[in-house]
Amino acid sequence: MIESFGYDPPFQSSDSWVRFENDQLVELHLFAGLQRDHIDTAPLAQFEHLKKLTIRGDLHPDLPHSLFQGLFQLEELTLSNNAFLSLHRDHFRDLHQLHWLKITSNQLRALPRQIFWATSQLQILELWGNHLTKLPSKIFANLHHLEVLSLYHNDLRNLSGRLFRGLSQLKQLDLSHNQLKGLHRGLFKGLEQLEEIQLQHNNFHSIPKILFYHLNALKQLRLDALKLKKLPRSAFDRLANLQSLSLSENEFTSLPDPLQGTPSLKRLDLSHNPLTSLPHHLPATRQMVLDGSLDYLDTVQLHELVIHYQQDRHLLQLIRQHPQVSDKTKALIKFLLS
């Protein structure tokens, strides 16, 4: 069986390993150096009870279409750190029980529209670390059980407004570190279970007013490093359950107005923004992160922050070290920290 793979070293080596249940192979992990001539006739189909499969490291960029044929019980598939340039729409056609698919750190620039149509049981899909520039509008249409979708560190520029339609169970979405120039106002419509969105480090400088309107379950939102100067007044009005909001490394000179619509907010990160003023009503949050954002605030404003965020020890320590802080404020901070 080992020799039929043409793989050297064998499965029992430190490079690869297997796991059996009731004399049936259920887990197979192959690492580094598996070449095309080794997998053209690889007898994966004979392992009909296989549940977990990993192929990682220096695999030939042209993956045989039939490699996963017959693996009807496969639940987890990892294809990471290879050199894949493309995938065929039939690669996963027999993987009806697949729950977790990880195709990361490859060279993919595009994906076929029908590639995930047979994998309707997917719960986790990781496609990060590739060079994807676009995605077909209905590529995820059949993934009704998907809970986690990771697309970070690609080269995505534009997304169809209907790209995520049908993902009614999605809880985590990561689109960070792409080249997105803008977001369609209806992009997140229908994602009523979504709890976490990561959009940091993209190329858009504004967001549509109703982008987050339908996300009542959202708890964490990251909008860092987007060169944002302001936000639509009602951008967060319906985010009653939002607990963590990160707006660091933008260009805000004051706290954004929409923050008044987030009653459950516990952590607000406005670090590394050129703040010059504070609003009349500061947001009621337990933790205010303002590292690198206090340089332009005056003595009165610094004192106001201390009064409002007396329980935030990190912020108090940060203000105490500020060159503009008054002796009165220092005394108050010393008392609060004692």
What DSSP assignment string belongs to 43-93? -GGG-TT--EEEEESS--SS--TTTTTT-TT--EEE--SS------TTTTT
Share of the chain above pLDDT 70, in %: 90
Give pLDDT tens digits for 162-176.
Answer: 999 999 999 999 999
Query: For strand 287-289 and strand 267-269, is the pairing parallel, antiparallel, or unpaired?
Result: parallel
10 Rama class: left (phi>0) / alpha (psi -120 to 50) / beta: beta
pTM of the predicted protein model: 0.91
Peptide bond into 43 cis (omega under 30): no
Which residues make beta-bridge pairs with 78? 54, 102
Please, what is the average pLDDT of the chain?
A: 89
Alpha carbon distances (Å) from 190 to 80, 240, 259, 277: 31, 17, 23, 37
Indicate the SS3 state at residue 246.
Answer: strand
Instruction: Give the Cα separation of 200 and 177 in Å (integer).
Output: 6
- Show the domains of the chain with their CATH numbers: 1-122 (3.80.10.10)
Give pLDDT tens digits for 16-26.
Answer: 667 777 678 89
